[in-house]
Amino acid sequence: MSIPNSETNNGVPYTHLPESDNDSGNTPARCRKTNRSTFIILTGLVAFLLFFVAVKYGNNDGTDDIIPGPVPPHETVCNMIGSNLMPLTTMRTVARGVEEGVSAKSHGHFLGVRPFPWTQKMLAWQRTSFHFQPKKNWMNDPNGPLYYKGWYHLFYQYNPEAAVWGNIVWGHAVSRDLIHWQHLPVAMVADQWYDINGVWTGSATFLPNGDLIMLYTGSTNESIQVQNLAYPADPSDPLLRKWIKYEGNPVPIPPPGIGLKDFRDPTTAWTTPEGKWRITIGSKINKTGISLVYDTIDFKKFELLKGMLHGVPGTGMWECVDFYPVSKIAENGLDTSENGPAVKHVLKSSLDDDRNDYYALGTYNAGAGKWVPDNPIIDVGIGLRYDYGNFYASKSFYDQEKKRRVLWAWIKETDSEAADICRGWASLQPIPRTIQYDKKTGSNLITWPVAEVDNLRSNNNEFNKVVVKPGSIVPLEVGSATQLDIMAEFEVDQNMLKKVDGSNATYDCIKSGGSGERGALGPFGLLVLTDNSLSEQTPIYFYIAKDLTGNFNTFFCNDLTRSFEASDVRKLIYGSTVPVLQGEKLSLRTLVDHSIVESFAQNGRTAITSRVYPTKAIYENAKIYLFNNATDISVTATIKIWQMNSANIKSN
């Protein structure tokens, strides 16, 4: 494909970086042996530096905001953790990425908490076996996933130098089936003035002749967010190993009235009735999150449309915006340019303010370049989410090979940065999910693991009609419980539901007392990654609430408050309501893969993803149980559990 030169960068001049400044100055950290005296000196040095920064940047509120500093050597951090000599953290940090103009990529230090003395055995167990992740170092957002000449391609944000965010380039891997992967060399690096501070999120678009282009956000030498064009160096190469950046970059730049660090993450392009291409880019005006709309013919010159695709007051910066159609009548996914009376359009945004992904269903007016939600009460940023757990920066693509829409995302760490550095890697990808319109409810999407993951199943165990009485726990003997695919159905006696009195009390998974808080009709479900003494347990459960008028609301929750004894891990409760229609049994599917647990209720109407860091419930000590903490009802469970084989993920 030929890309002609651009004479101007949309009329805005930029100053190129001098050659001598192109080196970022960062060099890979070396791991080397330290003797005891060196170790003591390093320990004291770290403590001194923390104290110095606290004095220099201290606030009046008794805490301190500090910018994350250089990454200490891997071996030094491991020695400190293992000897429990890591300095006590009495400061809070500005999370990595914030100063650079992207969402927080770490949660910083914990106030007054010393990192847990993790052992290498504990940390080694945390690495997953059938989820995608690099061999080492940091990863975050997926970029431009696509299918090309027989291969699925995943590009992703990657730091080749350390297990923390920074030095962002594009990692690259390919697969035949979205489960088994081959790592390839880095696809794009930060080597031009318009992306020298980061090659950030981008999206792929196929042209009618089969050519492929990629638009991505770059952070310039002045930390301005701009959009850039790239294309394959050799379109005949099915592995897309080399990419060329358009010499006329950048293409769209922040328009007047938009912050220079509030303009990022272009979507896949779709066609307009006039035969042009259209994209949307996330931004904000004050506290209103917005999606700007641009039209183009050649992807080199862009026209900003008046107004915006959509905006929602109070939602803050929108990043990783996604926009695509879903069919109201067919099972298949749709190409991004599809439209018509049997189509709904999904608008999704990742909110920088709360680090969650929200979506809404609505109607797209192609002529006006506007989108209107079906229900403003559950608009983007204030209503539905793909996943109510640890799930962010999602990106979908249309899989033309299997006629489906596939969803990727970023699953971040919730432990300490010190543990990440010692472990040598941070973050991973969920199992790719298909997206469909829920024809039964007409008000939400269904997300579900791609069918290919089922090929990893082995050694099926079945438990039929197991009665779990109020206040009881039932062990499920399945052998190793570290890599599982669990399908469960729960039946509740309808007569008992009618007899139980309603309440005017409201329920909320997050604000509740977790799985230990007993109600008349819940909680009940599974305990995964649980040791024999139940001192560490990860409950995944339903809670049924009945109001004074006799109406029922069903909640799907995941309680991490007792999942690990470590002190430097965030212990959260996730969850939300889940629609349950007349005559439906309560159902859930859970994928357990070491430190990641992905759960889906009612065939994917609600999903919850969690990171779990147990210290005891690991290896052969990881068990699974049924539990019922309801006070007034028994539940009957039917369960199928498969052991999961490991995926084949090859290095370069």
- CB burial of 508-545 (b: ≥16 within 10 Å; e: otherwise) equals ebeebebbeeebbbbbbbbbbbbbeeeebbbbbbbbbb
Residues in CB range of 155: below 8 A, 6 or more apart: 142, 143, 144, 145, 170, 171, 172, 187, 188, 202
Q: Which of 21, 61, 65, 141 is catalytic?
A: 141
Residues in CB range of 332: below 8 A, 6 or more apart: 403, 404
Q: For 24-166, where are the alpha helices, taking DSSP H only? A: 36-57, 74-82, 120-125
HEC assignment per residue over 270-307: EECCCCCEEEEEEEEECCEEEEEEEEECCCCCEEECCC
Rounded CA-CA distance 443/421 in Å is 43
Q: Which of 443, 468, 612, 622 is nearest to 542 (CA)?
A: 468
Rounded CA-CA distance 381/291 in Å is 12
**Are the C-beta atoms of 320 and 201 separated by less than 8 Å?**
yes
**Are the C-beta atoms of 250 and 259 separated by less than 8 Å?**
no
Rounded CA-CA distance 110/571 in Å is 12
Rounded CA-CA distance 417/423 in Å is 10
**Are the C-beta atoms of 452 and 462 separated by less than 8 Å?**
no
Instruction: Reply yes or no on whether 141 is catalytic.
Output: yes
**Are the C-beta atoms of 491 and 636 separated by less than 8 Å?**
yes
Residue 650, exposed/middle/buried by CB under 10 A (0-12, 13-18, 19+)?
A: exposed
Residues catalogued as catalytic: 141
